[in-house]
């Protein structure tokens, strides 16, 4: 296998898990190995230098341990998602290009009246590609991608969360252009967390809103001064995602000037995704079969489709039992429509009709439609 081959990276696109990261290298030790001058190694070297500079440039008040934790656990480096990996969602892609990608690549064109929004909320049913979109934005705008789930702030990191939030925003500025992606934002900005039920959660929420406001003010100030790109607050965007948009309290909701609905895929988009998934596989599915599957997968989300295709792809192996251990690759039968039909017995849409209606209603009142 060649190093960093395309297929190698294709498969490991975990939704919001940070498990498949490269080894952390932020101990400020010089690890450069002159024998290994591959493009990847050079890129890593450039990245390590940027990180060192960023760590040194942080304010005195920023906790270095928290900053390192962010670099190790929250910055996603490598393992990219591109627009074409995402089936459908053309309207959302366009909105994100205009709001983020173009302004990040050409900040000079987006000033004054064209000043971009500093926050965007992606909402919709689970498994529809919100995380993928955020990652594609980071890739396509050549930004540093910070990805954290709000629920981990209020659980896993509880106690150090405020420090972490502060370090997060500081690092994002130092490593700008940056995308701060906050998944499950509802658990941070819900009405409940403001009610004093959980003192610690309330403090994190406050810290988050303070940091975000400061960022917006700094960006507005910088813009008039036409500042250079180093530590640039005008090139940091907060992207947030939620499956529970109605749980976000009103004040917090209004801070997201842009609210983009990410709906379930329609029939043709489901077919595009299925074709992408089957692209590298041996299969017998015809256009007619695809039309059948289009109907059979009504109400499936993108992640339901992926789950279905993965299960169906196991079909040819399942019938073999132990003997698969001695089979040659070319003797394995292709994936067929029947495999999909068998998998459809157990793999069902994860969002109910009623559930879907709630998203539609919320989108009508508070969102932009995709």
What residues line the site for ligand ADP (CB under 6 A)? 13, 15-16, 86-89, 126-132, 241, 273, 302-303, 306
For residue 220, CA distances in Å to 62, 107, 112, 180, 223 come to 23, 13, 10, 18, 5
Helix (H, G, I), strand (E, B) or coil at 248: strand
Q: Which is nearer to ligand ADP, 292 or 303 (CB)?
A: 303
- Of all residues in the shown chain, the one whose CB is closest to ligand ADP is 302
* Overall size of the chain counted in residues: 370
Report in angstroms how near the CB of residue 303 gets to ligand ADP at its nearest: 3
Cα 135 to Cα 187: distance, rounded to the nearest angstrom? 21
Report in angstroms how near the CB of residue 102 gets to ligand ADP at its nearest: 22
Q: Which is nearer to ligand ADP, 132 or 271 (CB)?
A: 132
Q: Which is nearer to ligand ADP, 87 or 165 (CB)?
A: 87
Report in angstroms how near the CB of residue 132 gets to ligand ADP at its nearest: 4
Report in angstroms how near the CB of residue 149 gets to ligand ADP at its nearest: 10
- The vertex-181 CA angle with 175 and 187, nearest 5°, equals 135
Report in angstroms how near the CB of residue 255 gets to ligand ADP at its nearest: 21
Q: Which is nearer to ligand ADP, 89 or 137 (CB)?
A: 89
The number of beta carbons lying within 10 Å of the beta carbon of residue 274 is: 24
- CA dihedral (188, 191, 195, 199) in degrees, to 10, reads 0
350, exposed or middle or buried, with CB in 10 Å at 0-12, 13-18, 19+? middle
Q: Which is nearer to ligand ADP, 45 or 80 (CB)?
A: 80
Which residues lie closer than 8 Å to 325 by C-beta, 6 or more apart?
A: none
């Amino acid at each position: 296998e060649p190093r960093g081959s395309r297929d190698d990276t294709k498969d490991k696109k975990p939704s919001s898990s940070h498990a498949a990261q490269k080894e952390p290298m932020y101990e400020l030790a010089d690890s450069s190995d002159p024998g290994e001058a591959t493009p990847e190694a050079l890129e890593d070297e450039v990245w390590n230098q940027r990180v060192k500079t960023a760590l040194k440039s942080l304010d005195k008040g920023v906790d270095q341990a928290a900053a390192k934790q962010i670099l190790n656990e929250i910055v996603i480096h490598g393992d990219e998602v591109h627009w074409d990996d995402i089936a459908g969602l053309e309207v959302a892609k366009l909105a994100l290009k205009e709001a983020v990608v173009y302004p990040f690549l050409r900040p000079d064109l987006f000033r004054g009246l064209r000043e971009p929004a500093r926050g965007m909320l992606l909402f919709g049913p689970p498994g529809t590609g919100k995380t993928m979109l955020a990652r594609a934005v980071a890739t396509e705008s050549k930004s540093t991608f910070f990805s954290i789930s709000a629920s981990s702030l209020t659980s896993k990191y509880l106690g150090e969360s405020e420090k972490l939030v502060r370090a997060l925003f500081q690092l994002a500025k130092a490593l700008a252009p940056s995308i701060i992606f906050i998944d499950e934002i509802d658990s941070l900005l819900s009405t409940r967390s403001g009610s004093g039920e959980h003192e610690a959660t309330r403090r994190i929420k406050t810290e988050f809103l303070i940091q975000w406001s400061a960022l917006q003010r700094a960006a507005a100030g910088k813009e008039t001064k036409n500042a250079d790109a180093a530590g640039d607050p005008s090139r940091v965007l907060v992207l947030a995602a939620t499956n529970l948009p109605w749980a976000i309290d009103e004040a917090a909701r209004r801070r997201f000037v842009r609210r983009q609905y990410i709906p379930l895929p329609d029939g043709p988009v489901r077919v595009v995704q299925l074709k992408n998934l089957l692209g590298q596989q041996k299969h017998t599915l015809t256009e007619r079969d695809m039309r059948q599957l289009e109907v059979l997968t009504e109400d499936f989300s993108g992640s339901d489709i992926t789950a279905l295709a993965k299960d169906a792809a196991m079909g040819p192996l399942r019938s073999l039992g132990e003997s698969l251990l001695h089979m040659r690759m070319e003797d394995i039968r292709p994936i067929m429509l029947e495999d999909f039909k068998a998998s459809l017995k157990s793999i069902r849409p994860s969002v109910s009709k009623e559930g879907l209606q709630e998203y539609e209603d919320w989108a009508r009142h508070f969102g932009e439609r995709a």
